[in-house]
Amino acid sequence: MSDPIRSEQEEYFEQLCLAVDAGETHEQEAIEYFETQSHENDFDAAQWLDIALYHAPEVARGIIDFVDGSDRARSAIAQTIADNLDIAYGDDDCERFAATLRFALANGVPVDLDVVLDGCNRALDDLEDWANEDTKAPLVQLREAVLEMQAG
């Protein structure tokens, strides 16, 4: 994630989301943790939403209704995805990112699709000299999906 200074609670939430993604825990545990922490003074719902969107979309689906419009507007999920495409560009990653972007857009989270396209293009440029077409294919498919989102 992009924010280097994170609270212990945010770190724990991220670990919960990673455990959900790995199938080690049920998403309800992370959702309930989000709910209990949301009443704390230093709670940043936008940051927590981005953690869930990036690591565990099923958790994001469970918390989205608890995140108000102004916090959704501060989401940086497009930048987070774009910044990680150089290391997370496999089939599963790119399919999850496309689904995450669709979910975010459908739920009032503004997503700068140009930022994601730039990330796709940078990652593809990095792969150009050594990767075969099969390796590049998930990124190409993600780029196509983002272009479709922009068009419609």
Q: pLDDT tens track of the chain, all 152 residues?
A: 444 578 999 999 999 999 999 999 999 999 999 999 999 988 999 999 999 999 999 999 999 999 999 999 999 999 999 999 999 999 999 999 999 999 999 999 999 999 999 999 999 999 998 999 999 999 999 999 999 999 97
pTM score: 0.92
Cα–Cα distances in Å, from 63 out to 48, 95, 126, 142?
9, 21, 35, 25
What span, in angstroms and rounded, lies between the C-alpha atoms of 149 and 142? 10
The domain in which residue 93 lies consists of 77-152
Last residue of a domain, one of 75, 107, 135: 75
Are 39 and 87 contained in the same domain?
no
H-state helical runs in 26-112: 27-37, 45-55, 57-63, 69-73, 77-84, 91-106
Are 65 and 85 contained in the same domain?
no
